[in-house]
Amino acid sequence: MDKVYIGILSCALVFLLHNLLGKKKKKNHKGGLPSPRAIPFLGHLHLVKQPIHAALCRLAERHGPVFSLRLGSRSTVVVSSPASARECFTEHDVALADRPRIPSWRFVSMYFSMLAATSYGPHWRTLRRVAAVHLLSTQRVSSMSGVIAGEVLAMVRRLYRSATASPRVQLRRRLFELSLSVLMETIAHTKATRSEWEDTDMSVEAQEYRKVLDEINQHVGMASLYWDHLPVMRWLDVFGNKNEVVAAVSKRDVFLQQPIDAERWKLDDGGIGPSSEVEGKSMISVMFTLEKKEPQVYTDTMISGVCASLFSAGAELTLAVIEWAMSLLLNHPADLKKAQDEIDRFVGFSRLVAAEDLPHVTYLKCIISETLRLYPVAPLLLPHRSSTDCKIGGYEIPSGTMVLVNVYAIHRDPAMWEHPIKLRPERFEDGKAEGLFMIPFGMGRRKCPGKAMALRTIGLVLGALLQCFDWDQVGAMEVDKTEGAEEFVTPKAIPFESLCKPRTAMSDVLKML
C-alpha cells in the first residue's frame, strides 16, 4: 500500500514537472515535427490502440507520413511513407541501426544480448556474421531443403488422414508444429516425440513451446506498453509483470537448453569434430566449432541467444504468413484455382512440389509476395533508435529518439499501389512490381537474416497444401480477416479454419505417404 501512495505522489510530481517544463521543451524542439495533442504524464500512450500499426496508420492520415509521439518518457518518431522509409535505411542506415533499450526486452533478449535486440556495435557484428555466413547463408539454406521437405511430407500425411476422417480442419497448430520441427532438425538435429501414425495436430514439444511463447507474449509488446514507457510503473510493478516475464523466459530457456546440452554431449563424446565444414552439421554444432576456435567471442550465452532468436522468430513467421495466404485464397477462389493449375502443369501428379520447383511456379511466388504486402509479419519491424542527430522527411530527429517504421502503412500506400487493400497477386507478375517499395523483412543493416529460409519454407508448405488438397469455406461467410493484437507480428485474431478435401488427381501420391 505504501508503494501505491508513493506512486501517486510520483505521478503528481511528474505532472507538475511536465507543466513547468513543457513549454520550454516545445520551444527547444527542432524541425517542427507534427504531433497529436498530448496529455500530461502519459503523452500519447492513450492513442496507441490495438493493433498498434493500424492505430498509427490512422494517426498518419491526420498528421502526415512523419510525425512524433511521446510514449510516456520516450520520444518516438513514426515513419509511414515509402520515401521516408527508404531514407531511413539508405542515408541514415548507420544512424538508425541501434535499438532502444525497452525494459521488457531485457529479460526476453537475455539482457539485450540477442541479435534482434542488441545495440549496434562489435557484438552485433559478430552475431550478424554468425547468422549470415555460418547459419543462414544461401548454401546453408539450400542444404536444409531436404529437412523442410521431409517435415512438409509428414504434415501432409497427417492432414490427409485427418481430412479423410473429418473435412473440417484448423491449420494453426499443424503449421506451428511444422515450423518448430524444421527448426529442431536444422538447429539441433532433434525430432518431435510422436509416433509415425500419431494423428494429433501438435507434438509434445510443440505444445510445450507454444505454451511458453503464449506466456511470454502476454507480458511483452502491447501488454507491457505502460510498463515499458512509464518508469513509475516499473518501479511499483503492482501487477508483477517483471516476475511473470522472468518466469516465462526461464521456461523458454529450459526448453532450449535441452538440445544445446544434447549437442554438447555429442561433441564431448566424439560425435562431431572441430572441422570447419558446416554442411550436414546442426547449427548448434557449427557454433560449438566456432566456440572451440574463439571461446572468448563465441560464448555459451551467445549460443543460447542465437538459438532463442531462431526458435522464436522462425516458429511464428511461417505460421502467420501461411494462415494469411490461405485465408486470402479462400476468399478469392479464382486465385486459388490459378495457383493449383500452375502447380499441376509444372509439377504434375506423381510427386510433391519440391524446392527446385519454386523458381518456376511463379504465380505461387506472386501470392506469397502479395500476402507479405498486405500482412507483413512484422508490421512495424522492430523499433530503431537514432544514435546521432539526423533528418527524415525534412524533419530533424534528435539523437536517442525511437523510430518506428510502419511497413503496414507503406505497403498499402495508394500513391504506390493500385487498389492497395485488394488481393491482386498478378501485380507481381512479369516484373510489374519492380521498383515498388516493399520491405516485409526490413532493409539495411537490421534486415532479417532468415529471409531465404522463411521464403523457402513458406513456398514448400503453401505449394503442398494447394497441390494436395481442395479448400472451401466453412459456411457461407468469407474467412474472417480480423488482425490480432500482437505488437511484433500480425497474426489472425481467429485461427484459419476450412473444409479440406484430398484432391482426386493426387490420390495415388497421398495414399503412398
pLDDT digits (tens, 9 = 90+) for 326-351: 999 999 999 999 999 999 999 999 99
Distances (CA, A) of 396 to 23, 59, 95, 307, 399: 19, 20, 13, 38, 10
Q: What is the pTM of this model?
A: 0.91
Evaluate whether 105 touches 112 at the Cβ level (below 8 Å): yes
Angstrom distance (rounded) from CA 176 to CA 161: 18
Task: Go through the chain and tell me how many residues it has.
Answer: 513
The per-residue b/e assignment along 189-217, b for 16 or more CB within 10 angstroms, e otherwise, is bbebebeeeeeebbbebbbebbebbebbb
Distances (CA, A) of 84 to 54, 87, 437: 18, 5, 11
Q: Binding site for heme: which residues?
A: 448
What's the pLDDT at 284? 93
Under the banding of pLDDT at 50, 70 and 90, the label for residue 22 is: very low
Q: Binding site: which residues?
A: 448
Residue 5 has pLDDT above 60, yes or no: no
Q: Show the beta-strand stretches assigned E in 452-494.
A: 469-472
Under the banding of pLDDT at 50, 70 and 90, the label for residue 8 is: very low
What's the pLDDT at 456? 96
Under the banding of pLDDT at 50, 70 and 90, the label for residue 20 is: very low
Evaluate whether 390 touches 381 at the Cβ level (below 8 Å): no
* Residue 133 DSSP symbol: I
Distances (CA, A) of 213 to 242, 253, 431, 508: 16, 11, 38, 39
Q: Show the beta-strand stretches assigned E in 37-98.
A: 66-71, 74-79
Residue 59 has pLDDT above 50, yes or no: yes
